[in-house]
Amino acid sequence: NWLDTRVPTRLTQSQFNSNPRQAGGISATTDALRLGQGRIDRRTIIGGLYERQLDANTVLTIEADYDVKDINQTFTQIGDSINPNYKHYTDLRHDGRLLDMPLRSYAGFFVNNMEQEGQTFTNLGDFHGTRGTLAQNNRGTVRNIGGRFREELEFVPKWTVAGGFGFEQSMLSVQTINYAASGAVNTRGGSERTFYNYAPEMSLSWKPAEGYRHWIRASTGYGIPTFGNLTTGLDGLAGTNFNVKPQKNLNFEIGTDSKLHKTLSVHLVGFMVWFKDEIINQTNPLTNGSFAVNADSSQYRGVEVGYDWRPVTGWRFSGAYTHIESEYINFIDQFRATAASPITQVVRDGKQVPNVPKDVLNVKEEYYHPSGWGVWFETIYWNSYFLNNGNTIGAPAYWILNANVNKLVEVKNPYIRFAKFYIELDNILDKTYVASGNVAADTTIDANKTLFFSGYGRAIYGGVTLGLF
């Protein structure tokens, strides 16, 4: 995978309102053209998968990969890093019986080792993205080793209980050398941290009839800080932030998939998620750099509703709606306006978690003729949502319409099974909307916060999808 692109600066509210297509920037440290902002990111993965049927009910899978990322990004500072990663997975799946009850078993083991070597330079701001003084050297390693297992037991007909458990040990080592503007060594830092994470889960499901499934599930999850989290200061520039903790979450859901009629299926889920030490990433609008802080506790709760209705042959009406309420329960936000500024701390208890839309709706109507011609029409709605921890500014709601006409052609070829040609028209009404929001730290007034990437205007394009082998 190779990405080579110019990158605009996210827009302030007034810039978005006046011209959502502009490059953006409010100062010499955020002017996209002056900085020559861009990304040249390359990723190469080489791997192999071996699968063997050990017996009629047991399958062994072994996978090994070499995954290397070469990242070069030009913004207020210019960062070059390379991450070679060696990964291995071994999984064993077995279908058997326990006391004459159907039992499906799964066990797995994994190990990976990723190295980090990076350099950060100042940007001379000469419109060419020229590297200036070296700001930081960093080098590190993260080694993960762990296992997981899962059992699914149909203890009575149509009732299944499932339990799983995952364990991971992460050993993270990072060293940094930070340089002053003169080029002299300013600070040296390092951190050796070991994390032990557990992820149990339990669920109970009932399938009273064909097309029906009802379930209740409790699970846990976790995530550890990245190298970027640890080697970026609270001002968003190269530095150290070794106090970032791993995050943990507890999830609960209850739901149903029901085929109410031979033509109508519905999906309904209610969920709650509690986070401890959630890693919150935000950008400093004054430096255009991102950094991480931990929110002691936060929660998310909501519902998901979906339907799939096929009243007659060829016609399909489908849709999905998600509503989420998010909230910081206990969170002291912290940031620096600049490297020379003191740390600012602000209590965010009771505020909504930013960049989480409350309502998302997708509705789609499709028709496919036996001749191979097809057409669909899609409606997408996103409600407004906040983009700072103070909940004072955010992205506006939007509603866009898309359409597609396609033709499926069967191909009698040993290598190609079919070809699907299509023409698609997106954003039919040419609405201005926010396609990507960015959580901005409150280091400056709302009018100067760089927040938005605009979505596409009206666009028409075509292509072909090939079904191989």
Please report, for the domain that includes residue 138, its CATH number.
2.40.170.20
Q: Are 162 and 155 in contact (CB under 8 A)?
A: no
* Residue tagged 């190779």 (tokens): 2
Q: Are 376 and 425 in contact (CB under 8 A)?
A: no
CA-CA-CA-CA torsion sign (71, 438, 324, 400): negative
Q: Are 166 and 199 in contact (CB under 8 A)?
A: yes
* E-only strand ranges, 99-130: 101-123
Tokens linked to 235: 């001002």
Which conformational region is residue 448 in: left (phi greater than 0), alpha (psi within -120 to 50 degrees), or beta?
Answer: alpha
Sequence-distant (≥ 6) Cβ neighbours of residue 42 within 8 angstroms: 1, 2, 3, 69, 70, 71
pLDDT tens series, the chain, 469 aa: 999 999 998 899 999 999 998 888 878 778 999 999 999 999 999 999 999 999 999 999 999 999 999 999 999 999 999 999 999 999 999 999 999 999 999 999 999 999 999 999 999 999 999 999 999 999 999 999 999 999 999 999 999 999 999 999 999 999 999 999 888 999 898 999 999 999 999 999 999 999 999 999 999 999 999 999 999 999 999 889 999 999 999 999 999 999 999 999 999 999 999 999 999 999 999 988 899 999 999 999 999 999 999 999 999 999 999 999 999 999 999 999 988 899 999 999 999 999 999 999 999 999 999 999 999 999 999 999 999 999 999 999 999 999 999 999 998 888 899 999 999 999 999 999 999 999 999 999 999 999 999 998 999 999 999 988 7
Q: Return the pLDDT at 75.
A: 93
Tokens linked to 89: 């997975």
Count of domains forming the chain: 1
Strand partners, 379: 363, 401
Query: What are the distances in angstroms from CA 39 to CA 42, 51, 67, 188?
Result: 10, 38, 19, 28
* Residue tagged 């300013």 (tokens): 186
Three-state SS at 228: helix
Cβ neighbours, 10 Å, residue 228: 18
* Domain extent at residue 55: 2-468
